[in-house]
Amino acid sequence: MKRCLLKGVLPGLLVGCLFGMSGRAADDVWSRTAGGTFNWNELANWQSGAGFPDGAGQAAHITNDFSGTPTIQLRQAITVGALWIGDAVAAGGNFGPIIKNASGETFRLTFASGVPDVPARIVTGSSGTQTIRLEAPLSLGSPLLADLGGFDANNRPNLTFAALTELNGHRLVFTNGVLGQGQVTFATGGDFTGGGEVMNHSSSTINVDGKKSYAGRVVASSRATGSNAGTFTGTTGGFTNAEIVVNGYLTNGISQVGGQFQYGNRSGFTVNPGQRWTMRQVTLHGGSVNETGQSASNNGGNPTNDWQRGLEPVYSQVATVAVRSAYCYIGISADTATTAGTVVEAGALTRGPGATLYLNGPDGATKRFRAGNAPAFLKGAGGASGTQTQSVIPWIGAFISGNSANPQGFSTCDANGEFRSLADADYANNLTSGAGSNVSVSSLALTQSATVNALRLGYVGTPNIGAGRVLTVASGAVLFQQGARSVGTSGDAAAGTLDFGAAEGVVWVLGQNVNTIGAVITGSGGLTKTGTGELVLTGANTYGGASHVSGGALRVGDGAVSGRLGTGDVTVHTGASLRLSNGGALADGATLSVLRQGLFTGRVALDAGVAESVRYLFLGGQPMAAGTYGSGASAAANKSDTFFSGTGVLTVTGDARQLGCGTVVRIL
């Protein structure tokens, strides 16, 4: 019998059929069904009675209907290419096998497929809620794919790693599983070594107990979410020395699709959990990191240390937080009734082109997030705290007074890099307050051109700037708080001009709102659309620089009034979409790049009848040849429903494969 892996699960990892994994003499099925302690290397414990699985590519099937918990001792070093394991029926009970060593023995269970670049496998069953424990040391001789079974909350076997795993430079990847259910535990003794990568591509969460010393890469790139749970969840610990990568995207505010690291659950602890973030680097590609904090137990009314007395914060340090691409999220909360709050301190914050971030919670007091270099990102006059002329960070939105699905204003920071949001009183209420002012207004009508630093819009009763009038936003920061509002009425000669000058224009559209800029956008610093809502552009825009769709949707044209982007290149980030409702929306000489990170991609929607042209095209980092492109429903010669939708056609006039090395994007 030949068993196959799921094709296409892991970008960059060859996934195919494992030939020879059954039919070999030593492939075998476990014969014992009762609980008790048994030896792997005893022939009587296997159905054939002629051998036991031990060799690269060999398969062990430990999938009986168990009547008790079987403990299987290795008794010697064992190698397998595939391990099917778990209570096959779970009738009358859930008895997950335990694989371990006998007392005093340290033998390893090695996973090796025997075929270069083909992963070995662990496959759990789908029945019951038993816990399968790997208590013997593990070693990888090839990549390892852990295929999680289950189909609902009552049928979701848990796989626990309770000993050191030597990765030897390979990937350990989790896939499948039940959405939002915790099916993997890295127990206190379950650490990793040997470089490589630990990747959660499954739908389930991985609970991390204790602080891991693993110094390789940990990648969160799944659909796993839940209450106080993420793709990886650390309440008492985390990967404190690893490089953390989080792939995903946000919808409807902060609803996470994809990767999330969740630290803490606010439950009471008698000991300060301390460092839980990695001390190295956290890289966000549209993913989330949520630091919930903990409450302090007062030890039954007899506190014995400052944590129990409520005098210490939960405190984590990280060398670098890299907001690399797309619309990302960091949440900071704390139980201030029983502790001194939560503090996360980054040595540096770095940003990739077009990347944006929502900081939810930091208030500079009890919920603190700071980055040593944050002041370098500030744009504005540098007014004192509490004034209307404070500098802002246009690509970071913030909310400080509690949990919110959307940022309510712009972020700023003090001289020490302590982040917080501008309060309502920190905005002037007219457009003539001066070029250094941050304003929040309901009327955009000007009798003469004006300049402000940042623009926040709630109710907009008068959207037109005025014919021949120019509203300059010096920092480039524009935030729509409500839907169905606009800057300039589409197709109206009085819409006016929105000028970003030399700044990068960063336009925020929140939740599922739809906002429009009908004014003509000018400037030289490009345009970045962020937030999870939809921005519609209906002006004949002339701005220079790159256009980035960081989150949500950017629509060019509304079906009745045509629009266009600026003169530069266009990038559609992971989870975001660019919708073209008319031709001529992109510059003919532009390069269009649609990004891919892990399991997620950006998308381009081409409305019916749209014929658009660009010079070069990159899809998921790969250079494309000249030709026509579109969805499977289009008349294009090159069809992809991964990157395109609608029936319109994109014509690419140049061959991006001829651009030397092109653009190299590593698919994480």
Strands 288-291 and 197-200: unpaired
Question: Does residue 15 sit within a domain?
Answer: no
Other CB atoms within 10 A of residue 280 CB: 16
Q: For residue 527, what are its two tokens? A: 């345009």
Q: What is the pLDDT of residue 661?
A: 52
Mean pLDDT, range 287-296, rounded to an integer: 93
pTM here is 0.93
Judgement on whether residues 324 and 455 belong to the same structural domain of the protein: no
Question: Does residue 398 sit within a domain?
Answer: no
Question: Does residue 334 sit within a domain?
Answer: no
Closest C-alpha to 109, from 38, 151, 161: 161
pLDDT at 10 over 60: no
For the chain, report the end-to-end CA distance as a whole number of angstroms: 33
Judgement on whether residues 124 and 271 belong to the same structural domain of the protein: yes
Q: For residue 52, what are its two tokens? A: 């036991």
Mean pLDDT, range 261-275, rounded to an integer: 91
In angstroms, rounded to a whole number, what is the distance separating the alpha carbons of residues 505 and 387? 23
Contact between residue 290 and residue 253 where contact means Cβ atoms under 8 Å apart: no
Mean pLDDT, range 263-290, rounded to an integer: 94
pLDDT at 23 over 70: no
Segment 478-500, tens digit of pLDDT: 999 999 999 999 999 999 999 99
Judgement on whether residues 147 and 288 belong to the same structural domain of the protein: yes
Mean pLDDT, range 428-439, rounded to an integer: 96
Judgement on whether residues 630 and 520 belong to the same structural domain of the protein: yes
Question: Does residue 171 sit within a domain?
Answer: yes
Question: Does residue 294 sit within a domain?
Answer: yes
Q: What is the pLDDT of residue 67?
A: 93
User: 595: part of which helix (H) or strand (E)?
Assistant: none
659 vs 619, 620, 621, 643, 656, CA distance in Å?
A: 15, 16, 13, 22, 5
Judgement on whether residues 323 and 435 belong to the same structural domain of the protein: no
Judgement on whether residues 62 and 191 belong to the same structural domain of the protein: yes
Segment 68-109, tens digit of pLDDT: 999 999 999 999 999 999 999 887 788 999 999 999 999 999
Domains of the chain: total: 2
Q: What is the pLDDT of residue 227?
A: 61
Mean of the per-residue pLDDT values for the chain?
A: 92
Q: What is the pLDDT of residue 337?
A: 80
Q: Which domain holds residue 179?
A: 28-300+316-329
> E strands of 567-656, at which residues?
570-572, 577-580, 591-594, 596-597, 600-601, 603-606, 611-614, 616-619, 622-623, 627-630, 638-639, 644-645, 649-652
Strands 393-399 and 409-413: antiparallel
Contact between residue 505 and residue 543 where contact means Cβ atoms under 8 Å apart: yes
Judgement on whether residues 101 and 237 belong to the same structural domain of the protein: yes
Judgement on whether residues 294 and 439 belong to the same structural domain of the protein: no
pLDDT at 17 over 70: no
Tell me how long the chain is. 668
Segment 228-258, tens digit of pLDDT: 678 999 998 999 999 999 999 999 998 989 8
Segment 520-547, tens digit of pLDDT: 999 999 999 999 999 999 999 999 999 9
Judgement on whether residues 295 and 443 belong to the same structural domain of the protein: no
Count helices and strands (H / E) in the chain: 0, 61
Question: Does residue 539 sit within a domain?
Answer: yes
Judgement on whether residues 90 and 238 belong to the same structural domain of the protein: yes
Contact between residue 224 and residue 199 where contact means Cβ atoms under 8 Å apart: no
Mean pLDDT, range 270-277, rounded to an integer: 94
Residue spans of alpha helices (H) in 362-453: none
Judgement on whether residues 100 and 246 belong to the same structural domain of the protein: yes
**Residue recorded with tokens 């020490």:** 416
Judgement on whether residues 215 and 88 belong to the same structural domain of the protein: yes
Q: For residue 80, what are its two tokens? A: 């397998």
Question: Does residue 57 sit within a domain?
Answer: yes
Question: Does residue 288 sit within a domain?
Answer: yes
| Banded pLDDT at 226 (limits 50, 70, 90) | low
Q: What is the pLDDT of residue 663?
A: 44
